[in-house]
Chain A
Amino acid sequence: MGQSHISNHIRSLRFNHNEMTQQQLADQVGVTRQTIVAIEKGKYSPSLELAFRIARVFQMPLEDVFAYEEDPVQ
């Protein structure tokens, strides 16, 4: 399974928010820790709703948390 085109800064944002754990973030946005792990590793692109919920936890706009990277081949 290829890496997602959507990158994110969740790991650094967690660190900057009182070293929030993956489990704490997962509890706040209503998913399992495994899903946060997959998003951070770029193995899963979250739904738009989940992306907004994550951005809201960090009180940042969506595009400051997630970024879309164009395929270099295209």
Chain B
Amino acid sequence: MSYQEKKNIVSLISTILIFGSYCGAVYVRYNDANLAGAELFRFWGAVILILIPVTIVAKVIIEIIFIIINRIATKEVEPSFADELDKLIELKAMRMSYFVFVLGFLLAMVSLVLRMTPSVMFVILIFSGFISDVASSVTRLYHYRKGV
């Protein structure tokens, strides 16, 4: 298995773990909270704004740990640059990621039209962000394994 494949598997697992842990923590802490009106929007705004840096920091830490463990275990040095194949795969992954997120965004708007609660809209938005990240990793993994 190549370095890029291993890196994407780690990225996929870390995305699922970080998002799952964060959602679990938010659910346990605010499950009983009875929020309405402006407070509800403030809550969801905070949930999204905190999720972004938490995800970035956790992913960076996990990637550093992966690089160290991989270097010790396989003596393999990570590529120091992205070549044309890497850039092409990255573009395909980004396109898939945007496509999935836009679908989720539209679904969130549909939930508002159908008079669902704002919480449903925010949950769909957050999940579409998560699914788009997973789709990006899966697309990269697929193209590294099967070719372009």
Q: Which residues of A contact B (CB under 8 A)?
A: 1, 3-4, 30-32, 34-35, 37-38, 41-47, 50
Residues of A within 8 A of B4 (CB): 34
Chain A residue at minimal CB-CB distance from B80: A32
Interface of A is mostly: loop
Interface pairs (5), CB distance under 8 Å: A1-B142, A32-B79, A34-B85, A37-B2, A46-B84
B85 touches A4 (CB 8 A): no
Please tell me the size bucket of the interface on B: 10 to 19
Do the beta carbons of A38 and B147 come within 8 Å of each other? yes
The interface residues of chain B lying within 8 Å CB-to-CB of A43 are 146-148
Identify the 3 closest CB pairs spanning chains A and B, nearest first.
Answer: A43-B147, A31-B83, A1-B146
Please state if A1 and B84 are interface contacts (CB–CB under 8 Å): no
Task: Identify the closest chain A residue to B89 (Cβ).
Answer: A44
Q: Which residues of A contact B85 (CB under 8 A)?
A: 31-32, 34-35, 38, 44
From B79, B86, B148, contact of A1 by CB (8 A): B148
Q: Is B59 an interface residue (CB 8 A)?
A: no
8 other A-B residue contacts (CB within 8 Å) besides A31-B85, A34-B79, A43-B146: A1-B142, A1-B143, A30-B83, A32-B86, A34-B4, A34-B85, A38-B147, A47-B84
Per-position binary interface string of chain B over residues 111-148, scored 1 when its CB falls under 8 Å from any chain A CB and 0 otherwise: 00000000000000000000000000000001110111
Q: Say yes or no for B41: interface residue by CB 8 A criterion.
A: no
Determine if B99 is an interface residue (Cβ-Cβ < 8 Å).
no
